[in-house]
Amino acid sequence: AQSVSQHNHHVILSEAASLELGCNYSYGGTVNLFWYVQYPGQHLQLLLKYFSGDPLVKGIKGFEAEFIKSKFSFNLRKPSVQWSDTAEYFCAVITSGGYQKVTFGIGTKLQVIP
Amino acid sequence: EAGVTQFPSHSVIEKGQTVTLRCDPISGHDNLYWYRRVMGKEIKFLLHFVKESKQDESGMPNNRFLAERTGGTYSTLKVQPAELEDSGVYFCASSPTSGSSGEQFFGPGTRLTVL
């Protein structure tokens, strides 16, 4: 069964600092990779996704993630965070096929200090 | 376009009582999923409907949980009788069948507290 590991459970950054959240998955087959975000009081929403092609994917609000197949990793990055990025971030994977269950990481709470 | 909605947003019940959670997916989405997040843990898959049929219910914890999706529209998740360990946030998600990118659209969740 697939699993997802997020290395940082709670991250505190000052505004304008750079962000990198680690994510590793374990699954031998083809996977689709996602980062979801939950802002305070809001729904989980998709930040970005990787299915195939360019391993560097760009999402909303200046976020990007790089899929490194050899490392089973899909780290999330943002060069300069803002206070409004304060949220919980979830790395997630589904097996190829597109309609299977999502396996989530435990989530990383990001707090950005003005 | 209306998103996924869930009702209620919060529910506080006593151990042994019954609770029914409801999810209304995005109109036209054939796939409907239930997930649960126990405090401090991952969001875990419970089950997956395709229209009114259960495609995968491998994540259902035990037979105290019953999910239905009559008519292939909204879904209910009943917990009977509730136990303390059932506390958590229950998320519903939906996705279309054809042309899907695999993205699932999530509702706001129902926070269930069992006392």
pLDDT tens, residue by residue, B95-114: 987 555 678 899 999 999 99
B40-99: pLDDT as tens digits:
899 999 999 999 999 999 899 999 999 999 888 999 999 999 999 999 999 999 998 755
> Which residue of B31, B103, B110, B111 is the best one to mutate when testing the A interface, meaning the one whose CB has the most A CBs within 10 A?
B103
* Ordered per-residue pLDDT tens for chain A, 114 residues: 778 999 889 999 999 999 999 999 998 778 889 999 999 989 899 999 998 899 999 999 999 999 999 999 999 999 999 999 999 999 999 876 545 788 999 999 999 999
> Which residue of B5, B57, B106 is the best one to mutate when testing the A interface, meaning the one whose CB has the most A CBs within 10 A?
B106
Q: What is the least distance, in Å, from the CA of B68 to any CA of chain A? A: 17
Report chain B residues whose CB lies below 8 A from the CB of A98: 100-102
Question: Which amino acid is located at A51 in the chain?
Answer: F
Q: What is the pLDDT of residue B99?
A: 53
Report chain B residues whose CB lies below 8 A from the CB of A59: none
Max Cα distance, chain A (Å)? 42
Residues A14, A18, A23: CA angle, nearest 5 degrees: 115
B41 touches B85 (CB < 8 A): no
Q: Please name which of B6, B7, B9 lies closest in space to residue B113, comparing C-alpha atoms.
A: B9
